[in-house]
Structure 1
Amino acid sequence: MSTPYSTALRAALSLLLLGSLIVQVAIPVNAKSAGEVFPEIEPLTMPYAILAIAAIVGVQVGLIATWRLASMVSKDRIFDKSALKWVDLILVALIGTTALAAAVFVHLIFIVQVGGPPALLGLGGAWHLECRCCCFSRSCVACWSRRSTTAANWRGSSNGHQGRHRCHAR
């Protein structure tokens, strides 16, 4: 990755991290005001605010791991085995965050019995994302760790698929 792209990616990641910190600070304030406006949801505001902050922490972990992977790319070390731990961290953060979202939607729909179709759609989306993350983590990362992590496997010099990993080049 060339220096301008690496710099632009780091700038975007910095802005995303800054924005997520601002949202983390704003969540409790907005939850309290929502509880005052709608007294029927007041008991749910603080637990859901805590879960929202925890989900944002998961996103921040993923952003930091992406920063580390971008640093490895700029140093031409992305094909090292040490890059796998950052990929695994991104996947664990994404799986944990979607599990939190799914838990909130399950609580809303089946325990509190509010939310209606939008909450059911959110539960379906969280479940789908969770399944896709688990499938990706088991197939591509396992494939990547089994094979030699050389640039030839990724650039497609032997299989004719430019820019695609062998497990997707079928």
Structure 2
Amino acid sequence: MTWEKRAVLPLRICLVVLFGVLLVFQTLSLPGQFRYQAEQHPEDADARWVLTGIAVFLVLCVQVVVVATWKLLSLVSADRIFTPDALRWVDVILGAIGAAWLVVLAMFLWVGFHADDPGAPMLLLLVLVSGTVLGLLMVVMRALLRQATTLRTDMDAVI
């Protein structure tokens, strides 16, 4: 058994745990946190629903990445990773990262123009740059997967 195949089960366990934690955050923790902030600071209560919606959407983007990663692991287990199906799931991951990146960019711009201290804009800039790196890395990984898929298809045709 190869190391790649040995890593599939622990990674799946981690993905299930991660998805569960994200679900708790999405349904309980984040809405509760914004409700509490609205109660403590009634002057900012109008932002509660916007912030809850943004937070839930960003968590949803991470959940989409988790599900797509699960599907890619299924292709690895079936030795079908070098197929067009894998490229579609990588495209799903890229779409989720892109959607989250756009939302974080909008938050960065809004906070940047309205902030009175640099803390929040700098934190959002860190998230934005990290998301950019992750997205570009996935673009490179997709290109590598596409090349490997083409080579595998060519080899299967020869054999």
TM-score bracket relative to the smaller structure:
0.7 to 0.9
Cα deviation for residue 79 of structure 1 reads 1.3
Aligned counterpart in structure 1 of residue 20 of structure 2, from 18, 21, 45 = 18
Query: Which consecutive residues of structure 1, in runs of 5 or more, have no partner in the other structure?
Result: 152-170
Q: Give secondary structure in 2 for the equivalent of 1:150.
A: helix
Cα deviation for residue 42 of structure 1 reads 1.5
Aligned counterpart in structure 2 of residue 6 of structure 1, from 5, 8, 32 = 8
Cα separation, partners in 2 of 1:109 and 1:40, compared to 1, 3 Å: farther
Q: Confirm whether residue 90 of structure 1 aligns to residue 93 of structure 2.
A: yes
Query: Which consecutive residues of structure 2, in runs of 5 or more, have no partner in the other structure?
Result: 154-159
The structure whose RCO (Cα within 8 Å, separation 6+) is larger is: 2
Paired with 1:25 and 1:144, the residues of 2 have a C-alpha distance of 35
TM-score, L = length of structure 1: 0.76
Cα deviation for residue 22 of structure 1 reads 0.3
Deviations 1:12-31 (A, max 9, x none): 10011110110011221211
Q: Confirm whether residue 45 of structure 1 aligns to residue 48 of structure 2.
A: yes
Identical counterparts, % of pairs:
27
Cα separation, partners in 2 of 1:74 and 1:121, compared to 1, 3 Å: same
**Which runs of at least 4 in structure 1 moved beyond 3 Å after TM superposition?**
133-140
Match of 1:33 in 2: 36
Q: Confirm whether residue 55 of structure 1 aligns to residue 55 of structure 2.
A: no
- Greater helix share, 1 or 2? 2
Aligned partners of 2:72 and 2:81 also within 8 Å? yes
Aligned partners of 2:104 and 2:128 also within 8 Å? no
Match of 1:167 in 2: none
Deviations 1:31-59 (A, max 9, x none): 11111112232121210110100111110
Cα deviation for residue 115 of structure 1 reads 6.1
Cα deviation for residue 82 of structure 1 reads 1.5
Aligned partners of 1:102 and 1:126 also within 8 Å? no
Q: Give secondary structure in 1 for the equivalent of 2:118.
A: helix
Root-mean-square deviation over aligned CA pairs: 2.3
Q: Count residues with an aligned counterpart.
A: 148
Aligned partners of 1:80 and 1:149 also within 8 Å? no
Paired with 2:62 and 2:78, the residues of 1 have a C-alpha distance of 25
